[in-house]
A and B are shown apart, each in its own frame.
Chain A
Amino acid sequence: MSHAYEVVIGLEVHAQLRTRTKMFCGCSTAFGAPPNTQTCPVCQGMPGTLPVLNRRAVEFGIKTALAINCTVSADNRFARKHYYYPDMPKNYQISQYEEPLAEHGYLDIEVGGVARRIGIQRLHLEEDVGKLIHEGNLETAPSSQVDFNRAGVPLMEIVSMPDMRTSDEAAAYLKSLRAIVVYLDVCDGNMEEGSLRCDANISLRRPGATELGTKVEIKNMNSFRNVQHALEYEIKRQARALDTGERIVQETRLWDPDKAHTVSMRSKEFAHDYRYFPEPDLPPLDVAPAWIEAVRATLPELPAARRQRFMTGYALSAYDSEVATQSKGLADYFEAAAKDSPNPKTVANWVLNELLRVVPPDDEKAIAACPIKPAGLAGLITLIEDGTISGRIAKEVFEKMFQTGEDARTIVSREGLTQVADAGELGAVVDTVLAGHAKVVEDYKAGKKAALGFLVGQVMKATAGKASPAVVNSLLLEKLPKL
């Protein structure tokens, strides 16, 4: 079915910028305040009020533009984009149209070991709109209320070229872009709260065709998984339509994650005429080369470079490096924990296996708030490496550290978890175990080598996990042949 067509995908990503104040006024951008408490005459669009540009938002835009290899324009203009909707105080949005902040960039991604370069058409700045709160659902609500707290929060829109060919590539592009904005600390990347939103344009065509097929825009995909599922659904829907000779209608479709399908929202025949014109209340924004260079100097190491460095500097595998760098918080955590470690690979294993069981890899806030700090994890690993505790006990200690926030040494000494490596002390336990499992001993002697593991386990159990597995092993190997 779908291999009969080439899939063409472009993404439009909206990222809320983490400035302290709004794009054009001094109101706070903090999320979750009671409705309409973070508003003023300017962001409510009251008569006579005027916008004043937040230069920090521009700086964040420049920073991102440089990270995705765009050319930043010296002459910038804001424009008004018009349409009527109650969540928009002025019934126009201050955005950028003909003269965006930056253009002509790219982002390199890798899917299934194949590298792809995705073009970026433009990056521009605009203001967010408010939020409607309906009494019941939209169709039947007797009334709706508007919360303007979000109105005027700075947004950055990044439009890709139609360069993606699979839903996997689209997901990889989005993940990579998300990692970059989070690394740059310009956006918190939270898709559920809507700090990062993604719309897709998708069309199908016969392989080798030079013209693009009719595109459909898909909205309301608020997670990586939704993006992938929505695109896969849409690829199938369009392919089926084309197979049966149906015409694809240029339209906007909404992804419904519960029903796992897209539904038509509005067709382009009824599309808005946005009547853009240059915003007369803001003078043209002059982005001097010196400003761009000053911002460039503040660019941190980006995910791709860091991935490479993790492979060469810490000898991590390509896969581990990829996972460890998918968020800045996680990568910073790993590096802080591995800083003084003779064996970074072990630290990576703990971070990627144990830490990621308790915190999501891309949740910067949860990683920062994790009760086990990098130094704490490093301390725990030291206890394993110097033989104080066994790896098994270490996992228990890790759990306790996560629950209480105490350091490993405190827990180990309070609970008497120090590893027993004394051959005399352990020899007695080994003897008891051997005596109690004659059948297993026989199996072992008959050549069933796996029986050894069972016996080790019994000794560990008898010592509440405190026995040194290495010492137990050698004691068993020493005693078994003598039986």
Chain B
Amino acid sequence: MLTRLTIHELGARFRSGEATPSQAAREYLDRIAALDPKVKAYLTLTAAAALTQAREADARFKSKAPLGPLDGVPLAVKDVLCTRGVRTTCGSKILEAFVPPYDATVVAKLRSAGCVILGKLNMDEFAMGSSTENSAYFTTRNPWDLSRVPGGSSGGSAAAVAADLAATTLGTDTGGSIRQPAAFCGNVGFKPTYGRVSRYGLIAFASSLDQVGPFTKDVADAALMLQTIAGHDPMDSTSATIPVPDYSAALRLGVKGLRVGIPAEYFIDGLDPEVETAVRAAIGTLKSLGAKTESVSLPHTEYGLAAYYVIAPAEASSNLARYDGVKYGLRVPGARDLIDMYSRTRGAGFGAEVKRRVMLGTYALSAGYHDAYYGKAQKVRTLVLRDFQRAFERVDVIVAPTTPGVAFKMGEREDPLQMYLNDVFTIPVNLAGLPGLSMPAGFTRTGLPIGLQIIGKAFDEATLLRTAQAYEAATAWRARKPELAA
């Protein structure tokens, strides 16, 4: 079954001629047809285009001229990333019929690398949520337990990789939207440093926090994906000009002598004991591999969540102002006047969580409240960043749980605040703009995946990947797959 293979395994088969990209694409499309009605990861399938792309890849392999390690690899992208000629909904009714005339830079890079794009993946509306329950279309299921959520907002991306409905996927992470679903679905989810990957064509939720990253079946694949999508983009002024190193080469370096920090503030009341046990065991494994662990302190962690829920909604209230029914997307007819058109369109086009955040953010930026909320939150953000900078003077990476708990049941978290608490360990990393990766570190007694979070220094994804690779090689969690029957 080609669908079980990683990118590098698949690439090896393509090169040796044991399999072709068309075979892989067809197997994936068959599996999607059989299983996606249960998992509900895909919002849009682009089967015909995928098969065409696959045939083109076939030809390149046949003539011994593949484009690189991703050539012919069937993958899918979160529906927050613009795809030329393919509708891009952002999980919202307001963009239900929106067909971008351009590709996001990351999508364009994947296309030039020869990837086969299977379709677009479900998500919480405008990437606001931790379960995909805020999708305007449907909730994606966790492949490990279909009554549970896959996490979010990149829930479709995580579930697709876990259920082998794509070899790899792209997601985005604003406050944990890659790492939390990766933890819930038991795969590798990697949020690079803010600025490492272009945001052009990523439909903005919170511009100063959003970052694109991959979901993969193993760490080596994460390195391959980052290698392909990283780098400066002249279309994104916030993308860094710092050179992109060879990530796959870094994987081989091991962790001997590496200094690993353990933040006390991430082992708190409310942390699921099974998660704590698994993460502590993982730390033990790293130690046994030669890493030196030490305690670090990130004292402002507890304020991160509050600051995030001011900054992210503030930026969102601004970014989402453009959905007004004037230019593209939904316009509700029958309006009396301009304001009425705005109200009807936005009233019908946005879901409850989006409206809540637009209101929160508008309030936080309003005259008279601006300094107390937005201004104060920015100061907290600086303090959170300083915490990390201080810690990274002493350690090379920081290791912690990705989430306080494991995948919860659909409909279980109705209180938005309860839902927000899911991101308490991932949000500080976004506030500081650092790279963070989640990978499987075991399972609960009931068989749900537990995520280990590795946090790196800014633009030092190589050290982070090297740590993840060493841990993965020393454990067998990756071998376990969810049982899904058609």
A residues contacting B by CB (< 8 A) are 41, 44-53, 80, 82, 84, 86, 89-92, 146, 273, 275-277, 280-283
Q: Mark the stretch among B2-10, B95-103, B154-162, B424-432 that contacts chain A.
A: B95-103
B370 CB within 8 Å of chain A? yes
Instruction: Name the contact of B342 in the complex, choosing from A84, A146, A282 (C-beta under 8 A).
Output: A84
A89 touches B238 (CB 8 A): no
Cβ–Cβ < 8 Å partners of B370 in chain A? 275, 277
Q: Shortest Cβ distance from A50 into chain B, in angstroms? A: 5
Q: List 29 A-B contacts (CB under 8 A).
A: A41-B100, A41-B102, A44-B327, A46-B101, A46-B102, A47-B100, A48-B104, A48-B199, A48-B200, A50-B200, A50-B236, A50-B237, A82-B321, A86-B324, A89-B327, A90-B322, A91-B321, A92-B318, A146-B327, A275-B362, A275-B365, A275-B367, A275-B370, A277-B314, A277-B318, A280-B207, A281-B207, A281-B238, A283-B238
Instruction: Name the contact of A45 in the complex, choosing from B98, B100, B322 (C-beta under 8 A).
Output: B322
B262 CB within 8 Å of chain A? no
B240-258 interface code vs A (CB 8 A; 1 in, 0 out): 0000000000000000000
B200-217 interface code vs A (CB 8 A; 1 in, 0 out): 111110111000000000
B315 touches A49 (CB 8 A): no
Instruction: Name the contact of B328 in the complex, choosing from A46, A82, A146, A273 (C-beta under 8 A).
Output: A46
B residues 342-361 touching A (CB-CB < 8 Å) = 342
Cβ–Cβ < 8 Å partners of B318 in chain A? 80, 82, 92, 275, 277
Closest B residue to A85 by beta carbon equals: B338
B326 CB within 8 Å of chain A? yes
Cβ–Cβ < 8 Å partners of B326 in chain A? 86, 146
Cβ–Cβ < 8 Å partners of B90 in chain A? 47
Cβ–Cβ < 8 Å partners of B100 in chain A? 41, 46-48
B235 CB within 8 Å of chain A? yes
Interface centre among B201, B207, B326, B370 (most CB of A within 10 A): B326
Cβ–Cβ < 8 Å partners of A52 in chain B? 234-237
Query: A50–B317 Cα gap in the complex (Å)?
Result: 17
Q: A89-B327, A90-B322, A283-B237 are in contact. Are A48 and B82 (CB under 8 A)?
A: yes
B88 CB within 8 Å of chain A? yes
Cβ–Cβ < 8 Å partners of A92 in chain B? 318, 321
Cβ–Cβ < 8 Å partners of B238 in chain A? 50, 280-283
B237 touches A89 (CB 8 A): no
B374 CB within 8 Å of chain A? yes
Interface centre among A46, A48, A82, A92 (most CB of B within 10 A): A48
Q: A84-B321, A92-B321 are in contact. Are A49 and B237 (CB under 8 A)?
A: no
Cβ–Cβ < 8 Å partners of B374 in chain A? 277
Interface centre among B98, B104, B322, B365 (most CB of A within 10 A): B322
Query: A295–B208 Cα gap in the complex (Å)?
Result: 32
Closest A residue to B210 by beta carbon equals: A280
Query: A34–B446 Cα gap in the complex (Å)?
Result: 65
Cβ–Cβ < 8 Å partners of A90 in chain B? 321-322
Cβ–Cβ < 8 Å partners of B207 in chain A? 280-281
Query: A52–B98 Cα gap in the complex (Å)?
Result: 24
Closest A residue to B234 by beta carbon equals: A52
Closest A residue to B341 by beta carbon equals: A86
B366 CB within 8 Å of chain A? yes
Top 9 A-B pairs, shortest CB-CB distance? A91-B321, A280-B207, A275-B365, A280-B208, A48-B201, A47-B203, A48-B203, A48-B82, A90-B322
Cβ–Cβ < 8 Å partners of A49 in chain B? 102, 200-201
Query: A48–B88 Cα gap in the complex (Å)?
Result: 11
B366 touches A275 (CB 8 A): yes
Q: A50-B237, A53-B237, A84-B321 are in contact. Are A273 and B366 (CB under 8 A)?
A: yes
Closest B residue to A86 by beta carbon equals: B326
Query: A46–B90 Cα gap in the complex (Å)?
Result: 13
Interface centre among B95, B102, B237, B370 (most CB of A within 10 A): B237
Cβ–Cβ < 8 Å partners of B206 in chain A? 280
Q: A41-B101, A50-B200, A80-B318 are in contact. Are A91 and B324 (CB under 8 A)?
A: yes
Interface centre among A146, A277, A283 (most CB of B within 10 A): A277
Query: A282–B208 Cα gap in the complex (Å)?
Result: 10
Cβ–Cβ < 8 Å partners of B234 in chain A? 52
Interface centre among B82, B234, B366 (most CB of A within 10 A): B82
Cβ–Cβ < 8 Å partners of A280 in chain B? 206-208, 238, 315
Q: Shortest Cβ distance from A288 into chain B, in angstroms? A: 17
Query: A80–B318 Cα gap in the complex (Å)?
Result: 8
B237 touches A84 (CB 8 A): no
B88 touches A47 (CB 8 A): yes
Closest B residue to A41 by beta carbon equals: B102
Q: Shortest Cβ distance from A105 into chain B, in angstroms? A: 28
Q: A50-B237, A86-B338, A92-B318 are in contact. Are A277 and B101 (CB under 8 A)?
A: no
Query: A371–B324 Cα gap in the complex (Å)?
Result: 51
Cβ–Cβ < 8 Å partners of B367 in chain A? 273, 275
B residues 187-242 touching A (CB-CB < 8 Å) = 199-204, 206-208, 234-238
Q: Shortest Cβ distance from A144 into chain B, in angstroms? A: 9
Query: A91–B323 Cα gap in the complex (Å)?
Result: 9
Q: Shortest Cβ distance from B79 into chain A, in angstroms? A: 11
Query: A50–B200 Cα gap in the complex (Å)?
Result: 6
Query: A103–B341 Cα gap in the complex (Å)?
Result: 40
Q: Shortest Cβ distance from B24 into chain A, in angstroms? A: 29
17 new A-B contacts at CB < 8 Å, known A41-B101, A92-B318: A44-B327, A46-B327, A47-B100, A48-B81, A48-B104, A48-B200, A50-B200, A50-B238, A53-B237, A86-B324, A275-B367, A277-B315, A277-B374, A280-B206, A281-B237, A282-B237, A282-B238
Query: A37–B237 Cα gap in the complex (Å)?
Result: 25
Cβ–Cβ < 8 Å partners of A89 in chain B? 322, 327
Cβ–Cβ < 8 Å partners of B322 in chain A? 45, 47, 89-91
Cβ–Cβ < 8 Å partners of A276 in chain B? 365
Q: Shortest Cβ distance from B362 into chain A, in angstroms? A: 7
Query: A50–B201 Cα gap in the complex (Å)?
Result: 8
Q: Shortest Cβ distance from B415 into chain A, in angstroms? A: 28
Query: A266–B122 Cα gap in the complex (Å)?
Result: 45
Query: A47–B323 Cα gap in the complex (Å)?
Result: 9
Q: A84-B342, A90-B321, A91-B321 are in contact. Are A51 and B208 (CB under 8 A)?
A: no
Cβ–Cβ < 8 Å partners of B201 in chain A? 48-49
Closest B residue to A279 by beta carbon equals: B207
Query: A200–B315 Cα gap in the complex (Å)?
Result: 32
Cβ–Cβ < 8 Å partners of A82 in chain B? 318, 321, 365
Query: A234–B24 Cα gap in the complex (Å)?
Result: 76
Cβ–Cβ < 8 Å partners of A50 in chain B? 199-200, 235-238
Query: A146–B315 Cα gap in the complex (Å)?
Result: 26
Closest A residue to B321 by beta carbon equals: A91
Closest B residue to A272 by beta carbon equals: B367
B71-112 interface code vs A (CB 8 A; 1 in, 0 out): 000000000011000001010000100101110100000000
Query: A45–B206 Cα gap in the complex (Å)?
Result: 16
A47 touches B327 (CB 8 A): no
Query: A51–B100 Cα gap in the complex (Å)?
Result: 17
Query: A382–B102 Cα gap in the complex (Å)?
Result: 63
Query: A188–B423 Cα gap in the complex (Å)?
Result: 53
Query: A47–B324 Cα gap in the complex (Å)?
Result: 12
Q: Shortest Cβ distance from B53 into chain A, in angstroms? A: 22
Cβ–Cβ < 8 Å partners of A91 in chain B? 321-322, 324
Query: A53–B81 Cα gap in the complex (Å)?
Result: 23
Cβ–Cβ < 8 Å partners of B208 in chain A? 280
Q: Shortest Cβ distance from A75 into chain B, in angstroms? A: 16
B366 touches A47 (CB 8 A): no
Q: Shortest Cβ distance from B369 into chain A, in angstroms? A: 10
